[in-house]
Structure 1
């Protein structure tokens, strides 16, 4: 917990440690939702897809709890400097994590629809996109909790990879959809899945940018560069 400093109030330290642990847990749940949603897609597993959809309520509850915890710390501890940036950044991060969970739900709902349609082509780039998205989430949460701006910048730099894979999915599907109109509906669902994975990458990048601001008080959003 390199990003959490010890304070004279033991209770304050406990509150910060709880915030830390709950963010780790929420990040792990969201990462699993992505894994399960893609497994459901590839294996045409409707039951697993439904479990992902149902798990969204737990993520919503986590978001509400962490928001309340942040507000309580702000109101009772009046943090300054690094602690203040840590807590306000946590506010924003839980919002991105909740939206990532929504993307996983969106993938699962498409998986359910695709399960009753003929497969257009083998899934190749979609699983690659999912692995990349999961690693970005894992690394950016670690960067946040440890105040690691180098790792945060690496996550920002990987967003282009997931964008490129999204474009490739769309490009590879088009010939099938043009040649056989019966594949159009499934093709659009698969393209929607790729777009949702791209959006997950965008949310991971948002978190990474917030990490840089938290540690360096430097706003790198819309700068077109992650250089120091």
Structure 2
């Protein structure tokens, strides 16, 4: 018999909200890069408008965490679960902000053609989205090994970022408009690199939640 049915029901609700938030953020990253690849302003605007929903998720999760702490008398291990959920929600909100940043760059490119087809940026986005999905699974399943595996994927994103930096710098010339667009594409790559970093933060939180020990995955 469950000695604390209220606590476990509230915890299940918290984790469901976190899953919903994570799925929404995954979609935003995908759509933001898709909008850039296709120079689709309508999709970019959808990404920007949906950011308010992500902020609402963060508020809801914050309130659920505070209520659990205030009303359910959680034990030390429970506090790690709650604290990790709040930290994950904060990282998810920041990832969503980067999706919005990418969507705004799509809108900046209105009426233009891309100076080069997007190749590395979609690869970075695909890995980052996979990392985000895996990090959230590691939280719900309390899977330390899944969380730790994010480090290898983060290294792949970092290598792609280094590659695109070198590529874009080599394409710079004297044409102002071309250089401006190349600079913004470099910003996009940086935003995706930061998405991967936030995802490794989630993995680190999961490892601490399960083991009580700190582990740096972003080295």
Name the TM tier (shorter chain): over 0.9
Return the alpha-carbon distance in structure 1 between the equivalents of residues 23 and 126 of structure 2. 14
- Tell me the CA shift for residue 76 of structure 1: 0.5
- Shift of residue 172 of structure 1? 1.2
Which residue is equivalent to 2:86?
91
Structure 2 equivalent of residue 144 of structure 1:
139
Partner of 1:3: none
CA drift at 1:69: 0.3
Alignment partner, residue 134 of structure 1:
129
1:47-96: per-residue Cα shift (whole Å, max 9, x none)? Answer: 11011001000000100110000000001111113222110111111000
- Alpha-carbon shift at residue 181 of structure 1 (Å): 4.0
Structure 2 SS opposite 1:212: helix
- Say yes or no: does 1:103 pair with 2:132: no
CA 92–7 in structure 1, closer or farther in 2 if over 3 Å, else same: farther
Alignment deviations for residues 20-43 of structure 1 (CA, whole Å, 9 cap, x no partner): 111110000000000100110011
Aligned Cα root-mean-square deviation (Å): 1.5
Aligned counterpart, 2:36: 41
Whole-Å Cα distance in 1 between the matches of residues 218 and 175 of structure 2? 43
Unpaired stretches in structure 2, ≥5 consecutive residues: none
Q: Point out the more displaced range, 58-67 or 160-169.
A: 160-169
Q: Is contact 1:156–1:209 with CA below 8 Å preserved after alignment?
A: no
Q: TM-score under structure 2 normalisation?
A: 0.95
2:209 maps to: 214
Residue correspondence of structure 1 range 1-228 to structure 2 within 5 A: 7-178=2-173, 180-221=175-216, 224=219
- Normalised TM-score (structure 1): 0.92
- Identify unmatched segments of 5+ residues in structure 1: 1-5
Task: Tell me the distance in 2 between the aligned counterparts of 1:147 and 1:38.
Answer: 30
Asked whether the 8 Å contact 1:41–1:115 carries over to 2, the reply is: no
Shift of 1:208: 0.5
